[in-house]
């Protein structure tokens, strides 16, 4: 145990302290007559009794709900009222037993109760141990922000019992590590180094390591608080102390490193992200702001937003990022945390003054900028690091400058591997200058100029698995490696995750053969597509890195290695030479035999020897006069992305075979470049953007792979301006109202513009007409006409330039009609110029181009010529596209209702039936997943038919199989349907999918997120139109409870938000009475109930588990068993329906069999159809009669072993917090089955 002094109290850090707390407090506070222990609903059941039973004086316990939501005025009032009710006076003591929320809340209560009473902290989370429990800051959250109301009230003692950390979920433990990393980063390089080298021991809660780490972190904060208790220092009493005082002015503010940006993100992302996770992202972003190449602030440069402040190096940022990622903390801003919103949330910060944001900025690991400690930073700088995309602005002056490039990734990875495999160490190798300093063989190898990037970090991580010891010197400028001599530890990890680091993957594949134990090497989805079979099969040629991989491990071969390259001209031969030259530096002799490699072709550019540089040349060739042909780039299709086939490359370059690329400079097209996580695409198109205007790089952070400071260097050294794209700073939901473009085949209902098209084509030809179309589009894109509809010619999409221009607009509507209707219309119209080819051929060629160019689709029913009604429906779509649809009546009217329609095909439903069902309703819900077909054209016709049948707003709902519906679990297909432009869209997707909605062209569609648990998530910081929450009710009181929670949330939110709050099951029906906004109703004329039907066969324990699962998914549950009474018992427990006979069932969507296969049970043929899901929990036999019969009728069958695998995966995640790779578990289960035991 360690005792750390802080102000007038002591912080105890150790193991097993909790039981001794009451005795210590009785001795410390002899005048206290009563104690109140304040805890939360998570901690109190674990530790409260340990305290309560040992107090010898009066003690009370008050438990608050766990979570940040409890840190509010209402909860503080409730605690104070409880204390008054219990007759607690000034001789009481408040004991906070819990995490940061409990500590802040209880401390604030103690600071104001009876004008201040003693207060003791017993932190139970790592975050609270090292941060919130120290320093006396207390407070609560309000609508305007976190911790804005509170007081400084120092505790009498802090007891940090590290044993309680063992009950923390792993995510909470990692959450606390953010504050410890912060402490090392701002104040102690030695602590930071310990964190870097003890990641596994810390996460395993090794007692001595954790005690040392926590005590050091606590000591740092205590030291800072001691010198500056309230973020300022009083003026010294003697003149000689003045200088010291000035240096400490605002010292405590350095504890806010990472918190300014972090709190801005947290205000948006909570409760999805925890406090420490947001602070981790904030630290990275604030360090990136500080990074630069010059100690002079570049803010005097007026062209574009200044970037780095030049206070710290890339090495410093690299160490910080690596440490944060090593503990599993995030480093990137979530997509849902929009830049403009984060900047807005950051405005409410105690450090700010005069509307200027002030940040704590690193100068190196262990030190921050001082005098002053807070630095004013403009919004433009902050926005640049927050925003994932960047607009490259061509400078007005010629580009000239010297760029200090980082170390080579190729050399860095080769040197790292050789240093780790070595036994005695050669020279000090400087990667930045390639200089070799000869010195005697020693026990360490020092590498300077190493590239600080994602790829080299992946290599270092695995080398440490192999037993190499890695540490840093000179603030991350020098890497110290102690090698393994080829001898690896016996406890070598069997799973190596190498992300998208291709070089590391290929080099380490050969190294894995030396491990002596099976090793599973994997990476991200793109890495799993990249070829490595040649290396795995024979470890021979097919590219320089394959060859280098064999060479680097060759010294450990049993005999001298003779490596023969089959190619006459090996791909990337200079990289092979690089490997052999570096090996010679490490004392390994490589002799090259055979003929010299070939020379470049004089009539074209052969980049076979430097394939990775082809992207830079490609973009330069795009602005050159004439035709450029690049050959020898076949291996580029298997890099981080398929570079020659990248959709963004194709905006400028013609399609070509894999081995070469032909580039023709034609027209300058604005473009948004999706980098596909490929660093070379981002950097290459940044070069192009310095010449061509309006080039937006969508994922600028992918340059972290090889050149983390790329954007800073380009700006500081080359004076290339960068800006945050204006759309990124626009408010959520803003819609471009300038121009609407109509596209589609001729004859679909568009009108002609200007002079007769037939006359123009006759005089000038089709090519001139298409060129003139592009000129017009370019003009309109640059200066959009206000409130204008542009009707484009049917062939506008024949020009790639026009397609690229149209794709930049969010208001392109595709008028979709059938080929038959178009042919009928054109047969009666002789005023149009001839195609010159068959209409059907043109139609089928253009349809995919129309789809690619459009952001919305307006379908017209086959044979429909009622243009009065078609025009009416088109205007409805326009109101949505332009963001002018008036949702106010639905949001403000006291009581509104919607009907959930369940027709399988609306084109066959009589209009009067829709009118009858919709009577007195305010909106109609179109359940797409209940349609008889999920073909996009079929769905388009359903939308058109429903629009034609009713003018009510349409709530567009798609429930996937995983959400209890029937639509495939494919988010791409789900979101593709948004382009029909419904009035209201119900979103029931995770935040990952919601980010798609944020950035997609959804126009003015009203968003209504549906979450089945959380109101805060659903309200989405007020950035949606309505919030819908559905929970399962177990009792009538649950229906009233959800109504109360809604009212409480709405009173707390700082924005108006209509809420739909509903409960499922019979017990929850009251919620439909209490709900006031868009209450769902049904009608007897509807064909089926909205919820799919699940049939559970059996009445045992497995049947009950199946009933519970189906109920959780919101399905209507039927129970069938040979003994009806048992079926009724099971059904009663889950609000299901028992059926006496299968003949009583009209149809089912899901069937779960839980009875022995020996019963021979099968379903009636009429209940089995294509699409019905049939699963059987029996393991033996693997194919039961139920499954065999269902499989024969084309049902979707799930075997018992598959259910076992899924059960095992979820159990592992639930009990251990770890995720097991599904294929590993599935392979083990499948190994017990015969080949004939599988249905698929």
Do the strands 469-473 and 520-522 form a parallel or antiparallel pair, or are they unpaired?
unpaired
Q: Is 986 one of the annotated active-site residues of the chain?
A: no
* Cα–Cα dist 311/474, whole Å: 16
Q: Is 469 one of the annotated active-site residues of the chain?
A: no
Q: Which of 76, 153, 252, 319 is catalytic?
A: 252
* Cα–Cα dist 156/27, whole Å: 12
First to last CA, the chain: 60
Q: What is the dihedral of CA 306, 311, 314, 315, to 10 degrees?
A: -170
* Cα–Cα dist 1113/1005, whole Å: 27
Q: Which of 146, 156, 157, 179 is catalytic?
A: 179
Q: Which of 275, 384, 642, 817 is catalytic?
A: 275
Helix and strand counts by DSSP (H, E) for the chain: 44, 45
Omega prior to 1104 cis, within 30 of 0: no
Question: If we measure between CA atoms, which residue out of 134, 132, 123 comes closest to residue 160?
Answer: 123
Kind plus residue range of the DSSP H or E element containing 604:
none
* Cα–Cα dist 1149/826, whole Å: 45
Q: What angle do CA 49, 55, 57 make, to 5 degrees?
A: 135
* Cα–Cα dist 1130/1149, whole Å: 20
Q: How many CB atoms lie within 10 A of CB 858?
A: 28
Q: Is 947 one of the annotated active-site residues of the chain?
A: no
Q: What is the dihedral of CA 636, 641, 642, 645, to 10 degrees?
A: -120
Q: How many CB atoms lie within 10 A of CB 324?
A: 26
Q: Is 272 one of the annotated active-site residues of the chain?
A: no
Say if residues 814 and 937 touch (Cβ distance below 8 Å): no
Q: Is 229 one of the annotated active-site residues of the chain?
A: no
* Cα–Cα dist 1016/731, whole Å: 20
Q: Which of 76, 157, 182, 259 is catalytic?
A: 259
Q: Is 526 one of the annotated active-site residues of the chain?
A: no
Kind plus residue range of the DSSP H or E element containing 1075:
none
DSSP track, 438-494: ----BS-EEEES---SHHHHHHHHHHHHTT-EEEEETTTTEEEEE--TT---TT--S
* Cα–Cα dist 37/57, whole Å: 12
E strand intervals along 615-723: 627-631, 660-664, 671-673, 695-697, 722-723
* Cα–Cα dist 816/860, whole Å: 6
Question: Per the structure block, which two tokens stand in for 223?
Answer: 């030291």
Question: Per the structure block, which two tokens stand in for 295?
Answer: 């100690």
* Cα–Cα dist 948/107, whole Å: 63
DSSP track, 62-101: EEE-SSGGGSSHHHHHHHHHHHHHTT--TTEEEEEEESHH
Q: Which of 146, 175, 194, 256 is catalytic?
A: 256
- HSE-CB of 717 using CA atoms within 13 angstroms: 13
Q: Which of 68, 231, 266, 387 is catalytic?
A: 231
Longest alpha-carbon distance in the chain: 105
Question: If we measure between CA atoms, which residue out of 1151, 1154, 1155 comes closest to residue 1163?
Answer: 1151
* Cα–Cα dist 96/154, whole Å: 13
Question: Per the structure block, which two tokens stand in for 92?
Answer: 């009481």
DSSP 172: H
* Cα–Cα dist 128/151, whole Å: 17
Question: Per the structure block, which two tokens stand in for 368?
Answer: 């921050």
Q: Is 263 one of the annotated active-site residues of the chain?
A: yes
Q: Which of 42, 68, 71, 137 is catalytic?
A: 137
Q: Which of 31, 85, 87, 115 is catalytic?
A: 115
Q: Is 259 one of the annotated active-site residues of the chain?
A: yes
Q: Is the dihedral of CA 344, 350, 354, 357 positive or negative?
A: negative
Q: Which stretches of 918-957 are DSSP H helices? A: 936-949
Q: Which of 71, 156, 194, 263 is catalytic?
A: 263
Q: Is 231 one of the annotated active-site residues of the chain?
A: yes
Q: Is 452 one of the annotated active-site residues of the chain?
A: no
Q: Which of 221, 357, 446, 642 is catalytic?
A: 221
Query: Which residues participate in catalysis according to the annotation?
Result: 115, 137, 179, 221, 231, 252, 256, 259, 263, 275
């Amino acid at each position: 145990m360690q005792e750390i002094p802080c102000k007038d109290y002591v912080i105890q850090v150790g193991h097993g302290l909790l039981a001794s707390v009451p005795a210590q407090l009785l001795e410390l506070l002899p005048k206290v007559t009563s104690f109140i222990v304040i805890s939360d609903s998570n901690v109190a059941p674990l530790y409260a009794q340990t305290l309560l039973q040992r107090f010898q004086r009066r003690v009370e316990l008050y438990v608050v709900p766990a979570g940040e939501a409890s840190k509010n005025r209402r909860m503080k009032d409730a605690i104070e009222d409880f204390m008054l009710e219990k007759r607690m006076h000034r001789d009481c003591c408040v004991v906070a037993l819990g995490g940061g929320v409990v500590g802040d809340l209880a401390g604030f209560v103690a600071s104001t109760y009876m004008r201040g009473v003693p207060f003791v902290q017993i932190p139970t989370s790592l975050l609270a141990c090292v941060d919130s429990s120290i320093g006396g800051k207390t407070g609560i959250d309000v609508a305007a922000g976190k911790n804005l109301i509170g007081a400084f009230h120092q505790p009498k003692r802090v007891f940090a019992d590290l044993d309680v950390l063992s009950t923390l979920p792993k995510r909470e433990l990692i959450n606390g590590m953010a504050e410890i990393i912060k402490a090392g980063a701002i104040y102690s390089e030695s602590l930071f180094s310990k964190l870097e080298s003890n990641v596994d021991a810390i996460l395993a809660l090794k007692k001595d390591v954790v005690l040392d780490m926590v005590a050091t972190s606590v000591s740092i904060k205590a030291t800072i608080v001691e010198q500056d208790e309230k973020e300022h220092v009083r003026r010294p009493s003697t003149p000689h102390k003045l200088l010291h005082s000035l240096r400490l002015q605002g010292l405590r503010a350095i504890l806010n490193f990472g918190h300014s940006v972090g709190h801005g993100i947290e205000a948006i992302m909570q409760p999805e992200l925890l406090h420490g996770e947001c602070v981790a992202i904030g630290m990275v972003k604030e360090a990136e702001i500080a990074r630069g190449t010059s100690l002079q602030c570049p803010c005097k440069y007026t062209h574009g937003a200044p970037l780095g402040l030049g206070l710290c190096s890339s090495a410093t940022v690299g160490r910080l990022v690596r440490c944060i990622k090593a503990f599993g903390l995030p480093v990137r801003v979530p997509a849902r945390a929009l830049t403009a919103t984060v900047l807005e949330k950051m405005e409410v910060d105690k450090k700010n003054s005069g509307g200027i944001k002030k940040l704590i900025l690193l100068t190196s690991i262990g030190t921050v900028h001082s005098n002053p400690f807070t630095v004013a930073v403009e919004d433009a700088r902050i926005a640049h690091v927050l925003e994932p995309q960047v607009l490259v602005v061509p400078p007005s002056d010629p580009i000239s400058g010297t760029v200090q490039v980082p170390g080579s990734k190729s050399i860095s990875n080769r040197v790292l591997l050789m240093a780790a495999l070595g036994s005695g160490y050669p020279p000090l190798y400087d990667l930045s200058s390639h200089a070799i300093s000869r010195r005697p063989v020693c026990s360490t190898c020092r590498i300077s100029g190493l590239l600080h990037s994602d790829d080299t970090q992946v290599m270092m991580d695995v080398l440490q698995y192999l037993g190499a010891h890695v540490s840093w010197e000179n603030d991350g400028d020098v890497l110290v490696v102690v090698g393994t001599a080829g001898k690896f530890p016996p406890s070598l990890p069997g799973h190596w995750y190498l992300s998208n680091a291709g070089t590391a993957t290929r080099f380490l594949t050969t190294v894995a053969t030396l491990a002596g134990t099976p090793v599973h090497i994997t990476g991200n989805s793109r890495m799993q597509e990249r070829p490595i079979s040649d290396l795995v099969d024979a470890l021979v040629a097919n590219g320089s890195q394959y060859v280098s991989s064999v060479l680097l491990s060759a010294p450990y071969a049993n005999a001298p290695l003779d490596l023969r390259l089959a190619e006459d001209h090996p791909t990337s031969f200079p990289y092979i030479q690089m490997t052999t030259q570096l090996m010679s530096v490490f004392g390994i002799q490589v002799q090259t035999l055979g003929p010299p490699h070939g020379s470049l072709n004089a009539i074209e550019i052969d980049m076979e020897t430097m394939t990775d540089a082809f992207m830079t040349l490609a973009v330069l060739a795009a602005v050159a006069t004439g035709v450029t042909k690049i050959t020898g780039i076949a291996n580029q299709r298997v890099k981080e992305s398929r570079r020659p086939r990248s959709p963004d490359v194709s905006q400028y370059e013609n399609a070509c075979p894999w081995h070469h690329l032909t580039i023709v400079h034609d027209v300058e097209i604005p473009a948004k470049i999706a980098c596909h996580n490929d660093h070379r695409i981002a950097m290459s198109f940044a070069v192009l953007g310095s010449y061509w205007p309006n080039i937006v790089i969508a994922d600028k952070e992918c340059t972290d792979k090889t050149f983390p400071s790329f954007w800073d260097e380009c700006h500081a050294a080359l004076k290339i301006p960068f800006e945050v794209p204006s759309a990124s700073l626009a408010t959520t939901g803003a819609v471009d109202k300038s121009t609407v473009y109509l596209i589609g085949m001729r004859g679909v209902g568009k009108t002609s513009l200007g002079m007769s098209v037939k006359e123009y084509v006759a005089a000038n030809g089709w090519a001139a007409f298409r060129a003139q179309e592009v000129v017009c589009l370019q003009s309109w894109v640059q200066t959009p006409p206000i409130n204008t509809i542009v009707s484009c010619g049917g062939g506008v999409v024949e020009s790639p330039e026009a397609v690229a221009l149209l794709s930049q607009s969010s208001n392109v509507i595709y008028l979709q009609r059938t080929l038959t209707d178009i042919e009928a219309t054109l047969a009666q119209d002789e005023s149009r110029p001839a195609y010159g080819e068959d209409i059907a051929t043109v139609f089928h060629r253009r349809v995919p181009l129309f789809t690619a160019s459009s952001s919305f689709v307006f379908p017209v029913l086959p044979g429909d010529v009622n243009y009065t009604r078609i025009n009416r429906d088109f205007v409805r779509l326009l109101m949505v596209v332009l963001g002018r649809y008036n949702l106010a009546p639905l949001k403000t009217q006291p009581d509104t209702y919607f009907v959930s329609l369940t027709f399988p095909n609306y084109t066959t439903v009589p209009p009067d039936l829709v009118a009858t069902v919709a009577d007195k309703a305010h909106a109609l819900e179109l359940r797409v997943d209940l349609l008889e077909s999920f073909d996009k054209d079929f769905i388009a016709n359903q939308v058109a038919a429903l629009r034609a049948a009713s003018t009510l707003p349409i709530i567009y709902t798609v429930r996937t199989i995983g959400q209890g519906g029937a639509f495939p679990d494919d988010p791409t297909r789900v979101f593709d349907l948004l382009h029909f432009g419904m009035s209201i869209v119900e979103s029931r997707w995770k935040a990952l999918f919601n980010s798609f909605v944020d950035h997609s062209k959804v126009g003015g569609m009203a968003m209504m997120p549906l979450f089945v648990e959380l109101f805060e998530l659903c309200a989405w910081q007020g950035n949606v139109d309505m919030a819908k929450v559905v929970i399962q009710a177990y009792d009538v009181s649950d229906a009233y409870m959800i109504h109360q929670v809604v009212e409480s949330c709405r009173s707390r939110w700082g924005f108006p938000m209509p809420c739909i709050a509903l409960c499922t099951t019979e017990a929850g029906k009251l919620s439909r009475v209490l709900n006031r906004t868009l209450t769902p109703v049904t009608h007897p004329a509807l064909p089926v109930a909205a919820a799919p039907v699940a049939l559970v066969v059996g009445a045992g324990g497995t049947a009950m588990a199946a009933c519970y699962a189906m109920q959780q998914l919101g399905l209507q549950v039927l129970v069938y068993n040979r003994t009806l009474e048992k079926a009724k018992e099971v059904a009663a427990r889950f609000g299901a329906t028992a059926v006496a006979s299968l003949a009583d069932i009209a149809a089912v969507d899901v069937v779960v069999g839980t009875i022995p296969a020996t019963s021979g049970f099968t379903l009636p043929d009429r209940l089995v159809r294509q699409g019905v899901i049939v699963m059987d929990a029996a393991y033996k036999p693997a194919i039961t009669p139920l499954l065999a019969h269902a499989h024969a009728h084309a049902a979707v069958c799930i075997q018992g072993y598959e259910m076992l695998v899924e059960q095992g995966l979820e159990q592992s995640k639930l009990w251990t917090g770890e995720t097991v790779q599904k294929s590993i578990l599935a392979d083990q289960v499948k190994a017990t089955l015969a080949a004939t035991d599988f249905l698929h």
